[in-house]
Chains A and B, each alone.
Chain A
Amino acid sequence: MSEGSDAAMTTIESSGAAVCAGPPRDGAGAAYLDASGQVRVRPGSLTAADAGTLAGAAAGALGLVWLLYERILPFAGALGFWMCWYAAFLGLYWGIARSQWEARHVREKIAAAVLTGAGLLMLVVLADQVGYVVFRGSGVLGRGNFLTTDMEKTGPLDGLAGGGVLHAVIGSLEQLGLATLFAVPLGIAAAVFMSEIGGRLAQPVRAVVNAMTALPSIVAGLFILGSVILTLGYDRSGFAASLALTVMMMPIVTRASEVVIRVVPNTLREASYALGASQWRTVWNVVLPTARSGLTTAILLGMARAVGETSPVLLTAGFTPRTNANPFSGQQISLPLYVWNYVRYPQPDMKIRAFGGALALMAIVMILFVAARLAGGRPPGELSRRTLRRLARDRAAAASQSAAPRPPAAGAAPTAAAVIHPEPESAS
């Protein structure tokens, strides 16, 4: 620890928050003399003493716990080891910090360590989950037969050279497609109702949508089982499963799209009305195109959620080892159901198949998720790079034509949205 040279700084820093104006920024160096000779203090940033204390406590705790846990006390298990390490780390960190800083500063450091630990724990669990599924499933997914065959001619004792996941992928994609077809128009329409039409009923509708997002997925399955299958007498099928998925997906889409529709600036709506557009035209040509980026994210996140739902599908889709590409007749399996079914076999090869199915499912979820992130992230009205390029091209074309007397409709007929916000950045 380079304590000596930093002693002056840390004393300033520990009481330094009062000197600083504004919330802490991240940057190198906690305190330094600027050009005018004044000491500038940045609380919350990492000094050499901070880093040394942190590293010292971590290393000390590791050594201590290793000695006690592995060598002296009769303990075993990775989970217990890291729990003990974290406890020892916090204790040592407190001790080292207390020996050099005042109590308030120590509390700040401990709080930061605890909260950062919680955030890191979450990341570690997520990485471990994804990594473990990839680790166990990638071997079988790499085989050529796994993505191109079904399980019709494969028994529990057959090796991994036969059998695959094709029928489940087909089923998952078809059920997801049907559910999207039902849930997205309904969900976005409900969101438009809440934010654009409103009225006395908007608040109760919002409450019910919130309640629907928290609906246990098994209840959605039971509902379709009780209504479509038992009461109306249809067989279990991919269509019934997609209805159950619709019940799960629709409130997710509604909530997410209401949020993005609500942040569409009111000035755009007013401009549209001032141009004489009706409410319907305003929604269709101004509000929805402006919110397009956010709506795409809402839809893709809803799809990512729906494709992984197991329990609604479990009760309504039935089970088959054969490829059934027709969702309207006959039982149809999907990826979550495939995993659910084969992981409960005792044979290790079946378990590996389950992991392969889980990896395929995770891949679909990841693709949808990354697509949602790429599509979203832009505030409403901000145009994508492609649209900006197109507009620039149009403008250039119009400019080159303007030398000659300009025809009344230059280039493609502009949509109302393009007319209303060619430079939407200024609206925000």
Chain B
Amino acid sequence: MPMTGETAAASAIEDQIPIRIVPGVSRGDRVFRLVFRAAGLSVFLIMGLIALFLATRGAQALHATGWSFLTEQRWQTAAHRFGVGAVLPDGIIIAVIAMLIAVPVALGAALFISEYAPGGLRRYLISAVDLMAAVPSIVYGLWGLIFLTPRVIGFERWLSTHLGGVLPFLKVRNGEIAASYTQSAFIAGIVVSLMVIPIICSLSREVFSQAPTGEREGAYALGATRWGMVRTVVLPFGKGGAIGAVMLGFGRAMGETIAVALIISPLFAVSTHPLQAGANSISSLIALRYSESDKLSLSALMAAGLVLFVITLLVNMIAAAIISRSRSGAATNE
């Protein structure tokens, strides 16, 4: 490596002064750093461009409706009455149903893999979770539409007829025909839950498995059973990371498109009865209507996309903050 100030060093030796050698950066290195820094910064560019294009393309629609875009439930672009007042809460309902199923299963499976599964099996289980995350969303949608739907209807009907009296939101109109139960937010929620389970599971498994060995052995030495050890060491250690993983899963559930769009029948009102046919979400709205050709409709979809973009960013930032503040999160981030 070429050193700067070689002559200075030579004269310093003659003058008996302590030498300070400053390794210079060669031209090749300077180019290398420049190029790779540009690659790193390109992610800012991409995210910025996404926000910019969604905002400029959606400006026309936002201009036409003003703030009522956030509250209007209908979606009639020709009449200038459209907004995310229904699709946004409906999407959140689907995501919440998904999380109600996914969180216990994913955290349980994560604990099983990291604490209970025998060592030889563990590798295969981790691979299985990764594979589940790599299954294309269209396959989840296909499976949910054709395999799952007919098998869930019986359960939905039971919920509606037996618990509908106590919990009115479980009631279904025309409950005697099966078609009232298909294409509902509940079925979409089940399918979305299967898609977020691998995400939550693999993130929280990583956190759980990092619980310090010393503390685990301490718990065993004090006479804890395995579950006692999990409850007093692993869970408190992994709490922050697991909460962050759940938040990330929620963000993913909000943005899930194809499986939801394939299963639901679109509805433009807040779906207060999740078992009833008809549901919606921002992403499935976009997927089902992107082919509309007039400018205002496309602009409205762009604006809806912008809302989804902002919400997932917010959820993500909160999740990242929770993870980095927790003890386990600090461990994963270095």
Given contacts A308-B135, A314-B287, A315-B290, contact A121 B109 (CB under 8 A): yes
Say whether B142 contacts A354, CB under 8 Å: yes
Task: For B309, list chain A residues within 8 Å (CB).
Answer: 215-216, 219
In chain B, positions 154-197 with a C-beta closer than 8 Å to chain A are 154-155, 158, 194, 197
CB of B308 to closest CB in A, whole Å: 6
Say whether B50 contacts A20, CB under 8 Å: no
Give CA–CA (A365, B135) in the complex, Å: 7
* A88-96, A272-280, A387-395, A403-411 - interface stretch: A272-280
Say whether A218 contacts B308, CB under 8 Å: yes
Q: Check: B78 CB closer than 8 A to any chain A CB.
A: no
Given contacts A115-B112, A190-B40, A311-B258, contact A361 B155 (CB under 8 A): no
* B12-20, B28-36, B80-88, B268-276 - interface stretch: B28-36
Residue in contact with B49 in the complex, picked from A197, A207, A223, A351, CB distance below 8 Å: A223
Say whether A77 contacts B154, CB under 8 Å: yes
Interface core residue of A18, A115, A186 (most chain B CB under 10 Å): A115
Residue in contact with A305 in the complex, picked from B36, B127, B134, CB distance below 8 Å: B134
Given contacts A23-B217, A301-B130, A358-B142, contact A219 B54 (CB under 8 A): yes
Given contacts A118-B104, A218-B305, contact A205 B43 (CB under 8 A): yes
Say whether B36 contacts A129, CB under 8 Å: no
In chain B, positions 226-268 with a C-beta closer than 8 Å to chain A are 226-228, 230, 248, 251-252, 254-258, 262
Task: For A129, list chain B residues within 8 Å (CB).
Answer: 135, 139-140, 143, 147, 194
Q: Check: A369 CB closer than 8 A to any chain B CB.
A: yes
Task: For A8, list chain B residues within 8 Å (CB).
Answer: none
Chain A interface helix/strand/loop/mixed = helix
Q: Check: A35 CB closer than 8 A to any chain B CB.
A: no
Say whether A280 contacts B286, CB under 8 Å: no
Q: Check: B98 CB closer than 8 A to any chain A CB.
A: no
Q: Check: A427 CB closer than 8 A to any chain B CB.
A: no
Say whether B137 contacts A308, CB under 8 Å: yes
Give CA–CA (A293, B42) in the complex, Å: 26
Given contacts A15-B223, A126-B131, A308-B134, contact A218 B287 (CB under 8 A): yes
Residue in contact with A77 in the complex, picked from B1, B49, B151, CB distance below 8 Å: B151
Question: Footprint of B on A, CB under 8 Å?
Answer: 15, 17-18, 20-24, 26, 43-44, 75-80, 83, 104-105, 107-108, 111-112, 114-119, 121-123, 125-126, 128-130, 132-133, 136, 185-186, 189-190, 192-194, 196-197, 199, 201-202, 204-205, 207-212, 214-223, 225-227, 230-231, 247, 250-251, 254, 276, 278-281, 283, 301, 304-305, 307-311, 314-315, 336, 339-340, 343-344, 351, 354-355, 358, 361-362, 365-366, 369, 373
Q: Can you list 23 contacts pairing A with B, beta carbon distance less than 8 Å?
A: A17-B223, A79-B155, A108-B226, A112-B116, A116-B112, A126-B135, A128-B143, A133-B139, A186-B42, A189-B39, A189-B40, A190-B36, A202-B40, A208-B47, A216-B257, A219-B50, A222-B286, A226-B53, A230-B298, A278-B29, A315-B286, A339-B138, A369-B134
